[in-house]
A and B are shown apart, each in its own frame.
Chain A
Amino acid sequence: MTTILEVHNVGKSYGTVHAISGISATIVAGEVLCILGDNGAGKSTLIKILSGVHAPSEGTMTVFGEERMFSSPRDALDAGIATVYQDLAVVPLMPVWRNFFLGSELRKGSGIFKRLDSVAMRRIAKEQLADMGIALRDVEQPIGTLSGGERQAVAIARAVYFGAKAIILDEPTSALGVKQAGVVLKYIAKARDRGLGVVFITHNPNHAYPVGDNFLLLKLGSSIGYFSKRELTIEKMTKLMAGADEMKGLAHELERKPAPRTTPQS
């Protein structure tokens, strides 16, 4: 198994605030790393480090065995680390194939007759989507007509086609219903089977557990555990994430209080 990206003891502070500290994780080709945590646990800061938006203020990064940092998102992308953000960077009213190639259009001809190679782009988009298991009748339809899960898959297929070795998915299931979330999980498995390293960020253990190989649990900016699947059950994960004591307290608070007896007055 090839290790694509490794972070060791990374941390990031904004001024005097430590957003995260002491985080280690490994992205391996053909495996899914799930990063779980509640809101404010430091998930987005970690993504920003992995995708080159921020350089870590402490710790080291190793990319394909070479110790280095990313200077920009473009730098990360060139190294094969692509990030799919929640808004997916798609334009709803534009056809699927135009979205697929937006910003990296294929062209033919020269001089003032340089033009889009729309035949090739339509064909490639169709093939790449079919590889992901989405059979579109028509790549000419606006991407806004696809379901949330399918749109996610288009964004993943696009990243893969443009040379991604690892993809970071920022909460891809959080805005989706049960069925659509299931669709996205299938595409994550599909990407994994094609040999990509997948980083799957979520706060939902039910989404993470079935598809993940390794799990990094974050809480208040620190790691509260790095587990492989055999070391972990879904109950244990839920407990760790929510904090067993906090859950107990919450359960107590939510308990139905015995209704006060009132004597009807006549």
Chain B
Amino acid sequence: MPYQLSIVTPQGIAYEGEVDSIVLPGSEGDFGVLADHERFLTPLRVGEVEIQTGAELLFAATASGFAEVTGNAVAVLVEACELADEIDHARAEAAHAQAEQSLGQLAADDDDERYAEYEAALERAKNRLSVSGRRS
């Protein structure tokens, strides 16, 4: 039974439509949502959202955020979201290299805040690369 999914980012609505099932990267581990799931709130980590609509299977790379499951609607609020076939592989590659380089330069002196920032950037870049590899 299909239900309503919306993926919302500060840049706008990244995905909206009826879906059959999704798999979300919860902070405590991936979890699937079918119709009539209980009301549920959880943080999300940087990862991959799997969207199943009929015979079609979509993947999206999402940054961290949270998900709100209410009866027959799921709202995913994340800082950024890109569908697998929207990801520019070359750009993702470049972002990854850039993040790795800045992290490497920083290892010498320990500025915690910067380090966390670059590490997060690297994680996002890795995630986008892996999701863009999943395009169907």
Q: Are A and B subunits of one complex?
A: no
Q: A-contacting residues of B (Cβ < 8 Å)?
A: none
